[in-house]
Amino acid sequence: MTLRLEGIQFRDFRSYESFSLDGLAGLTVLLGPNAAGKTNAIEGIQLMTAFGSFRNPVAKELVRWNAPNARLSAHLVSASRDLSVQAEIKPGSRSYSLNGKKKAVQDLQGLLPSVVFSPDDLVLAKGAQSRRRAALDLLGCQLSRNHRVIKRDFERLVRHKNALLKDEAPAMLVESVNDMLVPAAVQLYLYRAALAAKLFSRMSEAYSVMAGGAERVEATYVPSWESEDVRDAAQAAPIAFSYAKDEARAALEAALRARAAEERVRKRSVVGPHHDRIEFFIDGRNASTFASQGQQRSLVLAWKMAEVALVREIVGTSPVLLLDDVMSELDPRRRRALVELLAEDTQTFITATDPSCFDGDLLDAARVIDLGRQEPWLR
């Protein structure tokens, strides 16, 4: 049975000393002037549903200034279940519990997936590759326990390998870590590549609808073990890569051998899924270099629409949709595309500084929370 978010509470989280919302239904609009805490609220809800944050913060940034820790809780309900998820965040650590029992993030992700769309997401189109990989992983982690376990194992091994390289440990030690790292790296690559293929095809469809079929969007997932020439070519024009498990393993092992000396000199790992790339193309040209602002927005919106479609297909229910200050950024055509996403079964939170960017019908159907009216010391 589908879970939904019934209530959320923050204590000493970001700008909030104390904040709670109960009786949450389909559509909640959070209004408030700049710095009222709208993005903080969206981030808090994401932390209690996706168990990650689109802002990629360190734990310390989430704790209200001068407070020792932050506490968040979420009440999730369905016809047959009543769950209480708690989080305690201290500088340097985050711990979660479910109905009073301690849980690892890997055990909670997927309970109630969420998809965030915020102006910050424009970095998906233009910014660092690490943000694209992180967005793909956050989706993968919400959809598959295997994805989250392998990602965690792989990241642990990379940290260990980097520490050895930094300490100039003997090559034999680094090689023995590579032996453990390769299976996790190959599996993470396979999960990501399979997820990317599904996401990218839905993204192209969504973009095509928004652009009235006038532009063609493609996206590719480029493994780190490709030679520099091939990676350059894959930046210039879309090349589809497809590796079976054995082929991926052989290619990664060969690249690790070929670049071992470089890793020793640079004192860090240079090959593996943490260096894979995601490239976007509009009409065959790399979007990082050639896309206009409007095309970048459409690209990111299409990615988000593809995420929602994939969660619906794979989990069988809609994710919680968190839309942070996006209406004012979108032209009427894109706004319409976004509003169509708000199917009746999609629990949605939208923030804005000004209610005038919403349709009257949308506001009539929503519960409107005015964050600007809250006492400032309680925010």
Ligand X SMILES: Nc1ncnc2c1ncn2[C@@H]1O[C@H](COP(=O)(O)OP(=O)(O)OP(=O)(O)O)[C@@H](O)[C@H]1O
List residues near ligand X by CB under 6 A.
14-15, 32, 34-40, 61, 63-65, 325, 353
- Collect contacts of 140-143 with beta carbons under 8 A, ≥24 apart: 140/191, 140/192, 140/195, 141/50, 141/51, 141/52, 141/106, 141/109, 141/110, 142/50, 142/109, 142/110, 142/113, 142/114, 142/311, 142/319, 143/110, 143/113, 143/195, 143/310, 143/311, 143/314, 143/315
**Binding site: what residues are annotated?**
32-39
Q: How far is the CB of 77 from ligand X (least distance, A)?
A: 26
Closest to ligand X by CB, 215 or 329: 329
Cβ of 154: how many Cβ atoms within 10 Å?
Answer: 22
Residue 263 or 325 with smaller CB distance to ligand X: 325
> Residue 15 or 295: which CB sits closer to ligand X?
15
Minimum CB–partner distance for residue 58 and ligand X (Å): 11
Rounded Cα gap, residues 150 and 168, in angstroms: 27
Question: Which positions make up the binding site for ATP?
Answer: 32-39
CB-nearer residue toward ligand X: 34 or 80? 34
The three-class DSSP label of residue 367 is: strand
* φ, ψ dihedrals at 27, nearest 5°: -125, 125
- The three-point CA angle 58-60-64 to 5° equals 130
- Check: CB of residue 304 under 8 Å from CB of residue 117: yes
Give dist(CA 246, CA 242) in Å, integer. 12
- Nearby residues of 316 by Cβ (< 8 Å), 6 or more positions away: none
| Nearest distance in Å: CB 93, ligand X | 15
Q: Residue 320 — φ and ψ, nearest 5°?
A: -70, 130
Minimum CB separation of residue 367 from ligand X in Å reads 18
Name which of 266, 303, 331, 307 is nearest 127 in CA terms: 303
With respect to ligand X, which residue has the nearer C-beta, 30 or 311? 30
Nearer to ligand X, 35 or 240 (CB): 35
CB of 348 to ligand X, least distance (A): 17
Nearest distance, CB of residue 332 and ligand X, angstroms: 22
